[in-house]
Structure 1
Amino acid sequence: MDGVVNVLGVWGAGVSLADDKGQLRFVSATDDVVERLQALEDDVDRGPCREAYDSGFPVVVGDLQALADRWPRLVNQATAAGVNAVMGVPMSVDGEAIGALNVYEKRSGDFSDEQVAAAQVLADVATGYIVNVRDLGRATELAAQLQHALDSRVLIEQAKGFLSATLGLDVDMAFELLRTYSRSNRINIHDVAAGVIDGTLQVHEGALRGADERDLTP
């Protein structure tokens, strides 16, 4: 979940998934504080995570204090921990809700449109990895799968940003460059992104023209 925090530029994040009865259950969080907030929201069955799950739309709250009457226990515990803004992002597939991603920020203020859109992308990526997992008794395995999915996406996003900045490309073209290089050289795109970030792999615009040679630094 740390990757989610880094990409979105927020303080914390957590995920809850629904059991067979539609009850949300915490499965992953950035730290103990977020874990307690996630667990509390699941217990009282009220809050942005629950509302995002029910509605299928992001629930963005820039000032938790303003909703103290609506979610009294959650607001009290969150603000006591220094959390003043939160966003719930739905996780669903083919119209079926399976859970929600919660994002926490200590500063009051609305999340940007870019943050909301990026959070939904990360939630969708995580959903793709866990949609077939329904047994919450496998929480440890599920959390590990979720972490892998998010870490992989975060690494690709970082590599896109690096290539965009260094080669003067827009982010869509930077992603196409990563994907083309991956396919041409039969290297997993996650490994290509990792090589770009750690400096062991140099990816050039020539890859878009069919270049198929890896350029590794000594």
Structure 2
Amino acid sequence: MDWQCFAQRIAAMAHDLLEQDSVAGTLGRIAQSATELVEGCDAAGILILRDGQVQTLAATGPMAEESHRLQERMREGPCFDAARRRDGERVFRIGDMTAFQQRWPAFAPRAAELGIGSMMGFLLFADEENLGALNLYSRLPGCFTETSETAGWVLASHAAVALSSARHQAQLTEAVATRHVIGEAMGILMARHRIPENEAFNALRRHSQDSNMKLREVARQVTERGSLARSE
């Protein structure tokens, strides 16, 4: 690989990513870039694995989408293996899907039936029951090399940043929404019972603990009903 040329193309891709107006657009462009920049890569996809359910965030075609669904259906494959092991291994490579794979004996032959000859997977993050991964596919066996892996890591780093940004933004949005609904519920209780702010919050918190319900859900019910579900 001509690394100077590769670096120039990566720089151009990075500039292109900045022009995307959504996380979905960014991830889609990263997946497409894998087929353009990684030698032998015929398809690519980005997925998240949450509580055993696979969600495809980006895919360049049916090969990647079907592989994601296959891993979910078989409960086996590089992504499920990464989710279970969590031992620091961040990249997986299957050199030949037609050869017996001790680690994935059920997944590999069925993936070969999809036309996949070889595969690489890059773990983007893993926490609790959530996992993100960038997967690269080739129709030919033995196609991916150490050089391919290095190039894949560059793309995976961009995908990880994009996903991290999206997750952080989602957490901020949820936090703001939670604070708003709790404040609204406190205002209702304060006006109805003529109590100060701290007592209104304590009433919400006690009900949350007694009912084993999240504070946000208790607050939402107050905003809908005008009071707590039972006597305050």
Q: TM-score range by the shorter chain?
A: 0.5 to 0.7
TM-aligned CA deviation for residue 113 of structure 1: 1.3
Give the AA of the match of 1:49: C
| 8 Å Cα contact 1:25/1:42 also seen in 2 | no
Give the AA of the match of 2:159: A
Aligned in 2, Cα 1:22/1:79: closer, same or farther, shift over 3 Å? closer
Larger CA Rg, structure 1 vs 2: 2
| 8 Å Cα contact 2:48/2:130 also seen in 1 | no
Match of 2:91 in 1: 58
**Paired residues for 1:1-218 under 5 Å:** 1-9=31-39, 10-19=41-50, 21=51, 23-53=53-83, 54=86, 55-68=88-101, 70-92=103-125, 98-109=131-142, 111-134=144-167
Give the AA of the match of 1:36: E
Query: TM-score, normalization: structure 2?
Result: 0.49
Structure 2 unaligned blocks of 5 or more = 1-30, 169-232
Give the AA of the match of 1:42: E
Structure 1 unaligned blocks of 5 or more = 136-218
In the alignment, the residues of structure 1 paired with residue 111 and residue 126 of structure 2 have an alpha-carbon distance, to the nearest angstrom, of 30
TM-aligned CA deviation for residue 89 of structure 1: 0.8
TM-aligned CA deviation for residue 72 of structure 1: 4.2
Count of aligned residue pairs for this structure pair: 133
Other structure's SS at 2:99 match = helix
In the alignment, the residues of structure 1 paired with residue 125 and residue 63 of structure 2 have an alpha-carbon distance, to the nearest angstrom, of 26
RMSD between aligned alpha carbons? 2.9
Query: TM-score, normalization: structure 1?
Result: 0.52
Give the AA of the match of 1:44: M
Aligned in 2, Cα 1:22/1:42: closer, same or farther, shift over 3 Å? closer
Give the AA of the match of 1:14: G
